[in-house]
Amino acid sequence: MSTVRLLAFLTVLPLAPALAIEVDGRIDPDEWSGARHVTDFRKTQPLNGEPGSLPTEAWILATPDGLAIAFRNVQPASVPRTRQRVQRDFDEQVDRVNLMVDFDGDGRTAYNFTVSSTDDIYDAIISNESSFNDDWDGDWRHAVAEDADGWSVEMLVPWHIAPMRGAEGELRTLGLYLDRVVGATGERMAWPLASYERPRFVSEFAPVELRKYSQSLLAITPYASALYDKVDGSGETKFGGDVFWKPNGQFQLTATVNPDFGQVESDDLVVNFDATEIFFSDKRPFFTENQGLFEFTTPSDYSQLLYTRRIGGPADDGSGAADIDAALKLNGSFGATKYGVFSAEEAGEAGRSFQALRLVRDFPTQNLGLMATHVDRPFLDREATVVGIDHDWRPTPRWNVRTRLIGSDIRDDGATARDTGATVWADYEMDRGWRQQWIAMHFGDELELNDAGYLARNSTNYAHWQVQRRFTELPADSRYAAKDWRWRVSGNYNDHGERLNHQFRISRDSQLRNGSSEYAQINVNSARVDDLLTRGNGPVRLPPSFGAYVEYSRPRKGDWAHELEAELYGGGLAGNDRLGYSLAYTPLYFVSDALNVYLGGYLEHTPSWLVWQRDTLIGEYDAREAHIDAGFTWLLGRRQELRLKLQAIALEGELRQAYRIAPDGEALASAETVDDLSVRTLGVQLRYRYELAPLSFLYVVYGRGGYAEDPYADQGTGALLGDAFDLRDDEQLLVKLSYRFEI
């Protein structure tokens, strides 16, 4: 950002006290008379910096009640308006506006507030420049008004919604970003000219000085739930609650007593025979409330030092999900230093104790942070301590460099193991749409984060170099609005010097002028070893392979929307001699703007699927898998929602050959008996939700599910998929009431 533009953004708004804003969607000139007026919206999708194709205006105003933002979106009849209603935290492509706020103006954490043209909303926390986490839900006000020439939005975000460090004098500097998305074309126009498609996003927000206000809040949210399981005739009643207290901008306390595990949210079904754990996000309010400060991630997928799904997860004694007695979280700041303290205690003799400490110091072009976690697991006689240091550096407008140093100390049944890890990734923005990226990761053989955090694997030494080119100046008659090509070479070895993979990747991400999107990718993999398959009993040597993947998504046109994915790949012991494939298709039909139904299917054939049996024995299977994914969403007015989610999976594996793995990694055919296998699983949830008040809900949830695994495969996936609907391990009815009292 140039010095001239930066100074322009630092315009100081009038210091006269602002009038209260009536949030009704109608932009009253008297109410907004003291506001900063923004008209310079530029295209960021496609990212060419040209003026937006439709006139857009915004107003920014600090009021005692919160940060007020208004949008005026001109949209003539020639540009169709999307009328589709969407759920909270939607990802559908509809007409919408975004407000993104970095309350401290330091480029570290921001909050995203989105309002659609139908007055539906999305909110999220943004960390690591451009990582959006929509698990968080905030309490803020919004309204939409519509006329023949366009539509307008008013938002009011209270000052107590996020912790903010202290500011001297009468002014506070925020980082702000505003944008508008046209649903019919996918065009995004923004102020300032910043994009999450670039390595730097939050740190590119416009610094804006506003009058300083402060709000305090004490909110108590008790809940009561009753669960009845028809299968075993058991019932359970639970009571608990959350407390949120923010006496000022520099301190915030969140506490919970006896929280439930979130039965009102259903995870996607998975069948996992791999050695790698599946990652699931967390929707429980306490664990998502202003959790952004505790974000400590690395380039490894989903990795983090504090993975809150561990808390209340499977108990160490194997008795099911652990109960949480209580948890506490403190967020605050002193000067330019932010801090966070986290503690959670599980119930019972097998209950675990989780603690975390976070410190962050912000400087003009860099941020430095420290995070420590500790878990006490008395049932296993195990204690785990992890310490990490993170450093984000922006030496010039073109460079963004992020570094992480991690160490773990594990004391397990009298033995101690210590190890370290380090990562660095650097992004360089060049001219004419070119970019480069370098990533290097080292995770030691005994580095262990998974007591409190999540790391897919340790014993990794990985590096890649990636070159990207963005094309936005495409011919007017092209069906594409933008294309983004990427070329990557990578290498990966474990800590024993064994090659885990060398890969060459080409990918293209494209936006179409009709609002659709395409993604395609080709991977070429070297010969390698799999050192996780046998669970520590030696690596398995695998031949070279390749993979090709394509994805297409078309937003609603008329009564239909479509999503399509297809993949062709080699792998296993066969390499490219026997190719597998997968195909997924989900059509979405709109009965009305408020009611949509979908019925999707997934088919996969893996001709060389490797499954560990015991010690060095594995089985090679000819595997076929089929899914049904169906349901509907019905938005009954502004406060009510009825949702059905049904998933069924069938998997059959017919044994090709059993193998013993030799010390050198060679797979040697074995005559030992290894069974075929078949798996079927079902998950059904019918959920009614009534919003009594902001962040206050009544839920009535019916759920049914089951899982069965058999040592044979002779039905075919179609028949097996039908049999999944007979599963009934549990059949539950849950009623939950929570109400937020603000004092």
Greater model confidence, 268 or 606: 606
**CA separation, residue 456 to residues 279, 299, 348, 412, 693 (Å):** 9, 11, 29, 20, 40
Q: Are 220 and 743 in contact (CB under 8 A)?
A: yes
Tokens of 609: 């699927």
Reported as a pLDDT band with limits 50, 70 and 90, residue 163 is confident
pLDDT at position 506 is 98
- In the chain, % of residues over pLDDT 90: 87
Per-residue confidence band for 8, with pLDDT thresholds at 50, 70 and 90: very low
Give the model's pLDDT for residue 262: 59
Mean pLDDT, the chain, rounded, equals 94
Q: Which amino acid is present at 474?
A: L
Q: Is the pLDDT of residue 421 over 70?
A: yes
Check pLDDT > 80 for residue 143.
Answer: yes
Judge if the upstream peptide bond of residue 192 is cis by omega within 30 degrees of 0: yes
Q: Give the model's pLDDT for residue 261.
A: 62
Please compute the mean of the pLDDT values over residues 411-418 and round it to a whole number. 95
- Contacts of residue 196, defined as CB under 8 A and 6 or more positions apart, other chains included, come to 129, 130, 132
Structure tokens at 387: 């310490």
Q: Which residue ranges make up each domain of the chain?
A: 3-215
Alpha-carbon distance of 383 to 316, in angstroms, equals: 13
Summarize the confidence of residues 541-561 as an average pLDDT: 97
What is the architecture, at CATH level 2, of domain 3-215?
Sandwich (2.60)
Of 473, 449, 474, 469, which is closest to residue 459 (Cα–Cα)? Answer: 449
| Average confidence (pLDDT) over 88-104 | 96
DSSP state of 323: P
pLDDT over 50 (residue 4): no
pLDDT number for residue 263: 67
- The pTM for the full model equals 0.92
Residue 314, CA atoms < 13 Å, CB-side half-sphere = 5
pLDDT 10s digits, 30-83:
999 999 999 999 999 999 999 999 999 999 999 999 999 999 999 999 999 999
What pLDDT score does 15 carry? Answer: 43
pLDDT at 13: 42
Q: Does 16 have pLDDT greater than 80? A: no
Question: Which DSSP helix (H) or strand (E) runs through 596?
Answer: strand 595-614
- pLDDT tens-digit series, residues 578-598: 999 999 999 999 999 999 999
**554 band by pLDDT with thresholds 50, 70 and 90:** very high
Q: Which long-range contacts (CB under 8 A, 24 or more apart) does 396-404 make?
A: 397/1, 397/429, 398/428, 398/429, 398/430, 399/426, 399/427, 399/428, 399/429, 400/129, 400/199, 400/200, 400/203, 400/426, 400/427, 401/425, 401/426, 401/427, 402/128, 402/426, 404/296, 404/298
pLDDT at 117: 97
Confidence of residue 25 (pLDDT cuts 50, 70, 90): very high
Lowest mean pLDDT among 205-214, 275-284, 658-667: 275-284
Residue 372: is its pLDDT beyond 50? Answer: yes
Per-residue pLDDT of 639-675, as tens digits, reads 999 999 999 999 999 999 999 999 999 999 999 999 9
pLDDT value, residue 165:
82
